[in-house]
Structures are given as C-alpha cells and as structure tokens.
Amino acid sequence: MVFKKETFYDLTAYRLGRFYDAINLAVYFFSLPEVYIDSAQNTMKNKFKEIASKDKPKFCLLTHYHEDHSGNAYLLQSQFKTKIVAHKKSAKHLEKEFKMLSYEKIIWGKLHPLKPDLFYDENGYFETSKYKFKVIHTPGHSEDSVCLLEVNRGWLFTGDLVISPRPKYLRREENIYQVLDSLKLILKEDFEVLFCAHKGIVKDLPKRLVNEKIENIEKIIYETKRLYKEGLSPKKIRNILLGREDLTSFLTFFDFCKINLIESILKKEPNL
C-alpha cells in the first residue's frame, strides 16, 4: 500500500495507492479545512475513511468523474453528509455505474453511483466560508474536467490535466487538441502553486511545467502531421516519435497507449 502525507500551509496532500508508487498508480487528494479536492480511489476506501472521519469535510470538489477522483464521494456523502460538487457533465457518469475495464477495477475499484449535491457555475466561482475557487472548464482528459483556482492564494488544482510535461500515452476518450487548448487556458491564470492529482504539489515554476507540456504536444502534433503527409502509417509514426508500445499499453488493454496519441492527432484534426 502507498500512503504519503505532505502539508503546505493549511493544506494536506494525501497520496494513496494500492500497488506501486508509480505516477499513474497512486493518486493525490487534497484536504483543506472543510473542503476536499477529489476523493481518491475506492480500493483505498478504508484509509480514506480513516482520514475523512477526522476531517469531516463540508464539501468535496471533484475535478472530474473518473474513478480515481470520485471513488469515495459516495462514502463522504452518505457517512459524513459532505456535499459533492461537480461539473454538470459529470452527473451522467456519476449517477449510474459507468463501464470500467478490468485493469481499472483492479487498480481503482468500482464506484457506487451518486447524485452530486451541487454543480459548478461554468467559468464562474464556488465559494465557501474560507475559500473562493474560480472554476475553469478544461475538457480534453474528459468532457467534464475542471481546474479550480483559489484566487486569494494563487493555488491551482489541475486534476489530470498536467501530470507529465512529456506525454507519450493517451486514453481512448481523450482529445489532444482540447487538452492543448485547456493547457493554454490555465496558463492565462494567475497562479503560483500547482496541485496535480498524480504529481502532487508543484511549488517551483509551475507555469514552466505547463509551458513545457504545451511545447511538447505542439511538437508531436507538427511531426505527426508532417510524417502523415509523407505517407507514413500511424504505427510507423508512433514508432518514430514515441517508440513501440510497452507494458503500460498491454496491461491497460491499449486503453492507455501511444497509438491513441497519434490517432487523436489524425482523427480529431478537422483538416485531415
């Protein structure tokens, strides 16, 4: 089991994982007085419940519906009367048992359906007695993804938008052009610290991290289009730019793999 705890002023970052301490196999949720950002994965329910029983948060703000972010939302709602706050597009996923692949169930666990108590005003604000969050709709990773900027502190909670500055894999449902637009959108905001659900607390030059990811995505897009116009197949382009598929791709049944990144560039670009 992975369990790590880091404090930053009045915030506590908890990292939970069922197996190894790898960036994609463990996840952070963030605890502020009265507020949680995300609710970790259901496979870590017992440890999460132990933490939540001390905090008893009034609100849990979800960055998106995925099972490693909403996995214990039902527990919070039913046992601690925590109000679950989500994007309106999250509702259809949270209110029913959405389809999960076997690897997702093993790593993250199954979800208990729930109805969010409150919805964000898109591109508006969500306020508590202590905090004021600007809600920024940042689709790409999922249709309902949001980033939350605590405007008084310059703290930006990014869910799964940033993670690695050098992306090599993509989930089937992701749209690389929307990811790129969302990265450029948050770069316009005034923030000094970035809180990533898999990378943790980024205190040093977080905007440089975002810029680096933008530059690398734009480079992959440019090179993919160039090679495609030269007549290369998506698989050959993948091999040149990203290398062949590896264990990550096989273990996720190609739900999270390199060819998805290349195909997202080719399939979702209107001019190709």
Q: What is the pLDDT of residue 23?
A: 59
Q: What is the pLDDT of residue 132?
A: 97
What is the distance between the alpha carbons of residues 176 and 189, in angstroms, rounded to a whole number? Answer: 21
pLDDT of 166 strictly over 50 = yes
Assigned token pair, 151 = 């405007």
Residue 240: band (very low, low, confident or very high) from pLDDT cuts 50, 70, 90: very high
251-262 per-position pLDDT tens digit: 899 999 999 999
Q: What is the pLDDT of residue 87?
A: 97
Residue 25: band (very low, low, confident or very high) from pLDDT cuts 50, 70, 90: confident
Residues 73-99 have a mean pLDDT of 94
Residue 271: band (very low, low, confident or very high) from pLDDT cuts 50, 70, 90: low
**Pick from 181, 135, 160: which is nearest to 64 by CA?**
160
Print burial letters for 170-182: b (CB count within 10 Å at least 16), e (below 16): bbeebbbebbbeb
What is the distance between the alpha carbons of residues 69 and 86, in angstroms, rounded to a whole number? Answer: 11
Which pTM does this prediction carry? 0.95
Residue 272: band (very low, low, confident or very high) from pLDDT cuts 50, 70, 90: very low
112-129 per-position pLDDT tens digit: 999 999 999 877 999 999
Residues paired with 270 in a beta bridge: none
- In CATH, the architecture of 2-215 is 4-Layer Sandwich (3.60)
Tell me whether residue 67 is exposed, middle or buried, using C-beta atoms within 10 angstroms of its C-beta: 0 to 12, 13 to 18, 19 or more: buried
Task: Give the helix ranges, DSSP H, for the chain.
Answer: 45-55, 67-70, 73-80, 91-94, 102-108, 176-187, 206-229, 234-241, 247-251, 258-267
- The answer to whether 140 and 175 have CB atoms below 8 angstroms apart is yes
What is the distance between the alpha carbons of residues 64 and 61, in angstroms, rounded to a whole number? Answer: 9
Q: What percent of the chain has pLDDT over 70?
A: 97
Q: What is the pLDDT of residue 249?
A: 94
Residue matched to tokens 């000094």: 192
In the chain, domain spans: 2-215
Q: What is the pLDDT of residue 98?
A: 74
What is the distance between the alpha carbons of residues 25 and 182, in angstroms, rounded to a whole number? Answer: 24
